[in-house]
């Protein structure tokens, strides 16, 4: 059994070309045995990058076998080689490690690309922190990273419901995430107001107030017992934006 080389200090030497990211992607793996028999097996990708990954699979091909991977969700296919099996490398307790014949991070889907972007933002945040930038700017980067991580999680969570045609579950998750972000944004705006960063000259302020009023009116009907859905739809009409609000949107598009 091959052992991973070690550095002088005893640590394992990393031989991968890029960091692998945790995912959960349904695949179909097909290959031919030495006797020419076509085999197909369901698998789940667990750790991947643009060059390959670790796959959970019940029965696997021999070391060095050329395999075809099919992404169940997108139906895309790609060729790969088996680099390691439980019998060939310590640390591979189950499943196989494969290397894509042609590097392609897009094959694994949006969840990997979002996680790569999230990792790059984290690296950028560390770089900015070392330059002693404004704390509020750094917080914006942290919020962006948190948002991307939440989206990556939502993408993974909605894969199975979408496959089964359960759109209600998908909508529920997406709306819940929007509400969570809206709460956080509102709290940040309150902090800005208390700190004196918002004045009557702040652009978009009128639109923000109008939008907050619309949200408040609609949501209060949901939280007030005895109000029918018909009354909600007819009694709470969307107010027309004021001239100031319309001007604010035009200014925003010009900037």
3-class secondary structure for the chain? CECCCECCCCCECCCCCCCCEEEEEEEEEEEECCCCCEEEEEEEEEEEECCEEEEEECCCCCCCCEEEEEECCCCCEEEEEEEECCCCECCCCCCEEEEECCCCHHHHCHHHHHHHHHHHHHHHHHHHHHCCCCHHHHHHHHHHHHHHHHHHHHHHHCHHHHHHCCHHHHHHHHHHHHHHHHHHHHHHHHHHHHCCCCCCCCCCHHHHHHHHHHHHHHHHHHHCCCCCHHHHHHHCCCCCCCHHHHHHHHHHHHC
Residue 137 clears pLDDT 50, i.e. is over it: yes
pLDDT at 227: 57
Copy the structure tokens of residue 31: 């290959």
**pLDDT (mean) for 85-111:** 83
Query: Taken in order 164, 168, 173, 178, is the CA torsion positive or negative?
Result: positive
Burial class (CB in 10 A: 0-12, 13-18, 19+), 128: middle
**pLDDT (mean) for 161-186:** 72
Angle at 210 between CA 208 and CA 212, to 5 degrees: 65
- Spatial distance between the Cα atoms of 98 and 20, rounded to a whole number of angstroms: 12
Greater confidence (60 vs 129) lies with 60
CA atoms within 13 A on the CB side of 124: 14
pLDDT at 245: 40
Enter the pTM of the model.
0.57
57 DSSP β-pair partners: 43
pLDDT at 210: 95
pLDDT at 10: 43
pLDDT at 123: 81
Highest mean pLDDT among 59-63, 75-79, 174-178, 183-187: 75-79
pLDDT at 76: 95
């Amino acid at each position: 059994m091959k052992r991973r080389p070690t550095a002088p200090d005893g640590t394992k030497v990393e031989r991968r070309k890029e960091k692998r990211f945790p995912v959960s992607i349904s695949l179909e793996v097909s290959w031919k045995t030495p006797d020419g028999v076509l085999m197909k097996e369901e698998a789940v990708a667990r750790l991947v990058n643009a060059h390959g990954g670790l796959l959970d699979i019940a029965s696997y091909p021999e070391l060095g076998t050329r395999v075809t991977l099919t992404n169940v969700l997108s139906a895309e296919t790609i060729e790969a080689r088996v680099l390691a099996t439980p019998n060939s490398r310590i640390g591979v307790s189950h499943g196989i490690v494969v290397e894509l014949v042609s590097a392609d991070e897009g094959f694994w889907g949006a969840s990997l690309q979002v996680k790569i972007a999230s990792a790059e933002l984290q690296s950028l945040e560390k770089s900015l922190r070392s330059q002693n930038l404004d704390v509020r700017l750094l917080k914006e980067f942290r919020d962006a990273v948190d948002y991307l991580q939440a989206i990556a999680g939502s993408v993974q969570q909605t894969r199975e419901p979408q496959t089964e045609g359960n759109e209600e579950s998908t909508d529920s998750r997406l709306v819940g995430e929007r509400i969570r972000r809206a709460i956080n944004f509102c709290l940040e705006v309150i902090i800005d107001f208390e700190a004196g960063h918002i004045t009557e000259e702040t652009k978009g302020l009128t639109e923000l107030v109008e939008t907050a009023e619309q949200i408040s009116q609609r949501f209060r009907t949901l939280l007030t017992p005895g109000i029918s859905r018909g009354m909600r739809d007819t009694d709470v009409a969307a107010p027309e934006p004021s001239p100031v609000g319309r001007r604010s949107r035009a200014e925003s598009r010009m900037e």
